[in-house]
Chain A
Amino acid sequence: MEKSLMKGNEAIAEAAILAGCRHFFGYPITPQNELAAYMSRRMPQVEGTFLQAESEIAAINMVIGAAAAGKRAMTSSSSPGVALKSEGLSYLAGCDLPAVIVNVQRGGPGLGTIQPSQADYFMAVKGGGHGDFYKVVLAPSNIQEMVDCTYTAFDIADRYRVTVMILADGILGQMMEPVSLTKPEQKPLPAKDWAVTGKAGRNRNIVNSLYLSPEILEQQNIIRFKKYDEIKKNETRAELYKTDDAEICVVAYGAAARISKNAVDAAREKGIRAGLIRPITLWPFPNKEIFDLADKVKAFTVVEMSMGQMIQDVELAVKFKKPVNLCSRTGGMVPAPEQILESIERSI
């Protein structure tokens, strides 16, 4: 397919439609507005539903409704808006419903700034709702990957009946790059025989997260975590860049990772054998890939557009075998390749 220039926000929207998503519920917030705006234009053309809800909380609850009916549904927002959706995310997990949510991160805490950030790592990976549950978190690093991750997100969601979050940021949402919207071949997915679609001719289905008996709820949670084990085994993704002979390994995701690649190349030009491991799934985290490198490298440098959140997972993965350093910008600031290069040089 011919490539065209698309903004990340629009690329996700079009990919969602090509993935068969016909129900989008959102509420405006910068820097993800182009996503909802695109949906408002396109959904009527494909006989889908675009609905601007009265709030972020309403939007995620509409997603719960559409997902319970067995439809591919999606919402998108940016940091403070995603925080508002936390309750709904927990209910989606408790009901074992497939859904896709996009967070185009901006600087926080509070209302913060509309400039790009990666400070929602904890919220995406560790929290974002009460109770025992995880979301699959995908972290694209360029606009083509925004498209590819969207296709993957809907498939993972349907395969395992989980919520998948695409964790982007203001740079990835706003920038344009050439993209091809070609869809990979669709692998068969399990039938949605649990969906509430009207009980004519069958027993009724119930979608619910309320289990008053602790014995039953415990079993439900144990079953759900067996599913998470399957996801860890099958869906963990990471890109290894020049790590084969690396003495310093940078760990970064999303926009920070693409900038880090420049720094890795610059370090190599200076004779420093640098490499990069880029988690594409932040949950499940590529623990093994990082641990395997811990014996080979002298140190790790974690590059994040936050005060240091993913670094905790890197430290856990490295198991204190090697030093783990932080190269950080926060509050909407973006690291320059030179800053990352300095950090690599300091790690030697």
Chain B
Amino acid sequence: MNRSILLAGFGGQGVLFAGKFIAYIGMLSGNEVSWLPSYGPEMRGGTANCGVTISKTPIGSPIVLSPDILVAMNLPSYDKFEPAAVSGAKIFVDSSLISRSPERSDVETFCLPAARLAESSGLKGLGNIVMVGKVIAETGLCDLDAATEALKKTIPPRKTDMLEKNLKALKVGMES
């Protein structure tokens, strides 16, 4: 399994956390993984993104320039990174925040109102994990058990009360 994944959105949407979750999924399935956030000045109030690489072999550059999985959580990120995705990429768009339709026809685009789905399930702010659930369902990244284990590693022990909510959000995404 070699994947180049880019997750992008506004600061505060949990894009970096979602990326770490995916990195743990890769790590626990015995792969090399890297996670690299953008840390430029655009983080302050603007867009945040991180690149996750999952690879059978040691990872050289952790910079994801041409993702084969793109998660776009706001319009500026979608506009910026849709052209960068490889042909045949799977692109996941939070349609509760992005209203435009895809410009590319050589990629597979999945539109999911993740933020709204999270909110209507009593999980406000967990649109990021709903999105990861959808990614898992559409890419076969792992099964629910493996995702649950990865989530347990991602959430710090002092915040275990968050685990149940995140698991719920994950299932919302996987089943939507």
Contact = CB atoms under 8 A, between A and B. Distances in A.
Interface of A: 3-5, 30-31, 114-115, 170-171, 174-178, 258-263, 334, 336-337
A171 B36 contact: yes
Given A30-B39, A175-B36, A258-B60, 15 more contacts: A5-B20, A5-B24, A31-B39, A170-B39, A171-B62, A174-B36, A175-B35, A176-B20, A176-B23, A177-B35, A258-B58, A261-B58, A334-B61, A337-B60, A337-B61
Contacts of A5: 20, 23-24, 27, 33, 35, 153
Contact of A115 (B34, B40, B62): B40
B162 interface: no
A345 B65 CA distance: 23
Given A3-B27, A5-B24, A115-B40, A260 B34 contact: no
Contact of A175 (B24, B40, B62): B62
B34 A176 contact: yes
B113 interface: no
A10 to B, nearest CB: 12
A4 B157 CA distance: 13
Interface string B71-104: 0000000000000000000000000000000000
**Residue of B33, B39, B40, B153 most packed against chain A (CB within 10 A):** B39
A30 B37 CA distance: 13
Given A174-B39, A336-B65, A260 B60 contact: yes
B63 interface: yes
A259 B27 contact: no
Interface in B120-176: 153
Given A3-B27, A5-B27, A258-B61, A114 B39 contact: yes
**Residue of B34, B35, B61, B63 most packed against chain A (CB within 10 A):** B61
Contacts of A4: 153
A178 B23 CA distance: 9
Give chain B's interface residue range (CB within 8 Å of chain A).
Answer: 20 to 34
B84 to A, nearest CB: 13
20 contacts: A3-B27, A5-B23, A5-B24, A5-B153, A30-B39, A31-B39, A114-B40, A114-B41, A115-B40, A174-B39, A175-B36, A176-B35, A176-B36, A177-B35, A178-B27, A259-B60, A262-B60, A334-B61, A336-B61, A336-B65
A329 to B, nearest CB: 12
Nearest to B31: A178
A153 to B, nearest CB: 23
Contacts of A178: 27, 33
Nearest to B23: A5
A213 B17 CA distance: 60
A261 B57 CA distance: 11
B33 A177 contact: yes
Interface in B16-71: 20, 23-24, 27, 33-37, 39-41, 58-63, 65
A190 to B, nearest CB: 37
Nearest to A262: B60
Contact of B37 (A174, A262, A337): A174
Nearest to A257: B60
B126 to A, nearest CB: 20
B138 to A, nearest CB: 24
Contacts of A261: 58, 60
Contacts of A171: 36, 62-63
Nearest to A175: B36
B60 to A, nearest CB: 3
Contacts of B63: 171, 334, 336
A127 to B, nearest CB: 28
Contacts of B62: 171, 175
Nearest to B153: A4
Nearest to B62: A175
Contacts of A114: 39-41
Contacts of B60: 258-263, 337
A262 B61 CA distance: 8
Contacts of A259: 60-61
A5 B54 CA distance: 13
B56 to A, nearest CB: 13
A119 B52 CA distance: 26
A262 B4 CA distance: 15
Contacts of B35: 5, 175-177
Nearest to B52: A176
**Residue of B34, B62, B63 most packed against chain A (CB within 10 A):** B62
**Residue of A114, A176, A260, A337 most packed against chain B (CB within 10 A):** A176
Contacts of A31: 39
Contacts of B37: 174
